[in-house]
Chain A
Amino acid sequence: ETGVTQTPRHLVMGMTNKKSLKCEQHLGHNAMYWYKQSAKKPLELMFVYNFKEQTENNSVPSRFSPECPNSSHLFLHLHTLQPEDSALYLCASSASPSTSGGVYNEQFFGPGTRLTVL
Chain B
Amino acid sequence: AQKITQTQPGMFVQEKEAVTLDCTYDTSDQSYGLFWYKQPSSGEMIFLIYQGSYDEQNATEGRYSLNFQKARKSANLVISASQLGDSAMYFCAMREGGSFNAGGTSYGKLTFGQGTILTVHP
A7 CA to B32 CA, complexed, in Å: 33
CB pairs A–B below 8 angstroms (22 shown): A41-B114, A42-B115, A43-B91, A43-B110, A48-B107, A56-B105, A88-B43, A96-B108, A97-B100, A98-B107, A102-B31, A102-B33, A103-B31, A103-B33, A103-B99, A105-B95, A107-B45, A107-B47, A110-B44, A111-B42, A111-B44, A114-B43
How many A-B contacts are there with CB distance less than 8 Å? Answer: 86
Q: CB within 8 Å of B: which of A78-102?
A: 88, 90, 92, 94, 96-98, 101-102
Contacts A42-B4, A55-B107, A109-B44 known; A98 to B113 CB distance under 8 Å? no
CA distance in complex: A107, B108 (Å): 9
B90 at the interface (CB under 8 A from A): no
| Residues in chain B near residue A108, CB distance under 8 A | 47
Q: Which chain B residues lie closer than 8 Å to A55 at the CB level?
A: 104-107
Q: Please, which residues of chain A bring their CB within 8 A of the CB of B96?
A: 103
A48-B108, A55-B104 given as contacts; is B114 within 8 A of A42 (CB)?
yes
B83 CB-CB contact with A under 8 Å? no
Judge whether B109 is part of the interface by a CB distance below 8 angstroms. Answer: yes
The 8 A CB mask of B8-48 against A (1 = contact, 0 = none) is: 00000000000000000000000111010100001111110
Chain A: minimal CB distance from B54 (Å): 9
User: 9 shortest A-B CB distances, which residue pairs?
Assistant: A109-B45, A103-B33, A112-B43, A43-B112, A111-B44, A42-B112, A50-B107, A55-B107, A42-B114
A11 CB to nearest chain B CB (Å) = 13
A34 within 8 A of B: no
